[in-house]
């Protein structure tokens, strides 16, 4: 080794010793699926101020909507809800955030929700129009390449499916049947088996939609599409069964909105997911709640409502987990998807009838939102995922 090489080597060791590296710095990436355009917008988020910088667009397929991130943060899964129904696996470049398609696999229907188990070996999906849930295997390389190993008929309008924090139990909502299904989950085989009891009913005319879990695993919260009410359930950690604690409104009485009606299923021939109508054709302004997110510290809930284009803030009591409505904020038109970054500092909201996404800074003391900026996206932006890499 010559003197120059020796000196360079010593310099690199010295730099490393002082905590500097020549590798990529920590990054936060934001992905937004655009159903009508059939692609996914990518952004890098500045962790210091929440500002987004575009990474460009990645082709997916018409009516690409729900997405999920692998537990190891190496892959993004996206469901295409036009025929043939598929899930696309993308590798996430850890340095640039660029998506590279690696695999496709069939889904048993038009799936409105995706999630993975905590091991990253199984992909769960739920079909609103098909009244079913499914489990697809994820291979050792992180790819979904095979068809579902289990397809389970449900009540009407399956809308969400998620495992609990222990990965021993799985819950799925049925909007039309006003119920939450309870399953035991075998993480070795991917098998779902009905718990005892197999379901818990929600209050009539509410329409359970999306669910989130408290960070301590004690509670499950459900946003109801037809009322905007957020239900709190306690979780029996040994049995995985739910017990209702109470309901809290996220849509204030002065909103001028009537109680909601169940929406028609989106056909596979649709050009957009933004225009579904109540099944009876009613055109009156009605509650149409969509997404629900919880901060990583468990202090705040945020709920989106599409008719009024608002995001509601609710505080959570530390001792009881009870939500309390605080206020709401105007946001992108018809906000279907919202997401909080893993640090709990920022919230990103997409609107099905907007050509922008909004970023908000979350006040760590009281949860209030302050706008950071708005950024261009494609048509019918509906789902947001955020990946934080060290």
Single pTM value for the model: 0.93
> Mean pLDDT, the chain, as a whole number?
93
Nearest of 65, 45, 63 to residue 53 by alpha carbon: 45
State the pLDDT at residue 216.
Answer: 97
Question: What values do phi and psi take at 14, rounded to 5?
Answer: -65, -45
Select from 294, 182, 187, 192 the least CA-distant residue to 242: 182
- Please tell me the predicted confidence (pLDDT) of residue 26: 84
pLDDT tens for residues 250-267? Answer: 999 999 999 999 999 999
CA-to-CA distance for 244 and 231, rounded, in angstroms? 8
Looking at residue 18, its pLDDT comes to: 28
Q: Which pLDDT belongs to residue 279?
A: 72
pLDDT (tens digit, 9 = 90+) per residue, 4-60?
333 334 333 333 332 333 344 789 999 999 999 999 999 999 999 999 999 999 999
Instruction: Write the CB contacts of 19 (distance below 8 Å, at least 6 apart in sequence).
Output: none
- State whether residue 263 is helix, strand or coil: strand
pLDDT at 280: 74
Instruction: Say how many C-beta atoms besides its own lie within 10 A of residue 93's C-beta.
Output: 17
Low-confidence ranges of the chain (pLDDT < 70): 1-24
């Amino acid at each position: 080794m010559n003197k120059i090489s020796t000196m360079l080597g010593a310099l690199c060791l010295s730099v490393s010793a002082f905590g500097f590296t020549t590798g990529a710095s920590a990054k936060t990436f934001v992905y937004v699926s655009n159903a009508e355009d059939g692609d996914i917008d990518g952004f890098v988020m500045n962790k210091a101020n929440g500002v987004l910088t575009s990474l460009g667009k990645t082709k997916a397929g018409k009516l690409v909507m729900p997405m999920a991130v692998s537990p190891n943060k190496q892959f993004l899964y996206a469901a295409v809800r036009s025929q043939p129904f598929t899930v696309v696996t993308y590798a996430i470049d850890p340095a640039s955030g660029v998506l590279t398609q690696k695999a496709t696999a069939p889904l048993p229907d038009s799936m409105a929700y995706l999630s993975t188990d905590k091991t990253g070996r199984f992909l769960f999906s739920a079909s609103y129009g098909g009244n079913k849930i499914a489990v697809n295997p994820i291979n050792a390389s992180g790819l979904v390449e095979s068809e579902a190993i289990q397809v389970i008929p449900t009540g009407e309008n399956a809308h969400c499916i998620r495992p609990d924090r222990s990965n021993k139990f799985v819950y799925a909502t049925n909007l039309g049947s006003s119920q939450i299904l309870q399953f035991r989950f075998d993480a070795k085989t991917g098998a779902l088996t009905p718990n005892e009891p197999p379901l818990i009913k929600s209050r009539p005319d509410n329409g359970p939609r999306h669910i989130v879990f408290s960070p301590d695993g004690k509670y499950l919260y459900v946003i109801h599409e037809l009322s905007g009410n957020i239900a709190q359930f306690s979780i029996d950690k040994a049995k995985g069964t739910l017990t209702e604690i109470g309901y809290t409104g996220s849509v204030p009485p002065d909103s001028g909105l009537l109680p909601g009606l169940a929406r028609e299923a989106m056909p596979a021939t649709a050009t957009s997911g933004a225009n579904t109508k109540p099944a009876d054709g009613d055109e009156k302004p009605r509650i149409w709640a969509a997404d629900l997110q919880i901060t990583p510290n468990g202090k705040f809930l945020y709920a989106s409502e599409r008719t009024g284009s608002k995001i509601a803030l609710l505080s959570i009591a530390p001792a009881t987990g009870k939500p309390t409505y605080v206020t709401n904020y105007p946001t992108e038109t018809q906000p279907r998807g919202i997401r909080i970054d893993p640090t709990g500092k920022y919230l990103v909201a997409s609107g099905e009838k907007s050509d922008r996404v909004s970023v908000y800074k979350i006040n760590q003391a009281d949860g209030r939102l302050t706008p950071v900026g708005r950024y261009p996206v494609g048509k019918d932006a509906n789902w947001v995922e955020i990946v934080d890499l060290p």
